[in-house]
Structure 1
């Protein structure tokens, strides 16, 4: 069996440390990317919420206008019945 010297162990440990440093760097990059994605996702959620609120506002306005038109038609005695 090959003799295991302190120098050989040192070289192996140095290569392991170098690879761990690379892994740490990659993990940090992934963390930053995930944080950016979370931030983007939060922004998209806010945009979607504001779109739904705007649609709700438009719907409420249409309902009010429909009610007003119904009252105007009633007051003017307009209806969809065919004229005789």
Structure 2
């Protein structure tokens, strides 16, 4: 087995440091992308909420509210 000299250890530590730097950069980029996706999803949810509110107001104006009591099925005579 080869002796682990200071130079070999130093080179190994430099490679590990380089890999960790790359991983840190990648994680930072993933966090930015995730934040963007979360913001986009929040925007979609806000828009859907506004659409629900508008639909509710329209139904109320047109008096299309559901009846509280159960309806009999249609039976032609």
**Pairwise same-fold verdict (TM > 0.5):** yes
Q: Could you state the TM-score of these two structures normalised by the residue count of structure 2?
A: 0.80
TM-score (norm 1): 0.74
Residue 67 of structure 2 corresponds to none
User: What does 1:4-83 correspond to in 2, within 5 Å?
Assistant: 4-63=4-63
Aligned length in residues: 64
Q: Any runs of at least 4 consecutive aligned residues in structure 1 with deviations exceeding 4 A, and if so which? A: none
Q: Gaps spanning 5+ residues in structure 2: where?
A: 65-77
Aligned to 2:69: none
CA apart distance, 1:4: 0.8
Q: Which has the larger radius of gyration?
A: 1
TM-fit CA distance, 1:3 = 1.1
Distance between the aligned counterparts of 2:57 and 2:44, measured in 1? 20
Instruction: Give the distance between the partners of 2:3 and 2:60, measured in 1 at CA.
Output: 84
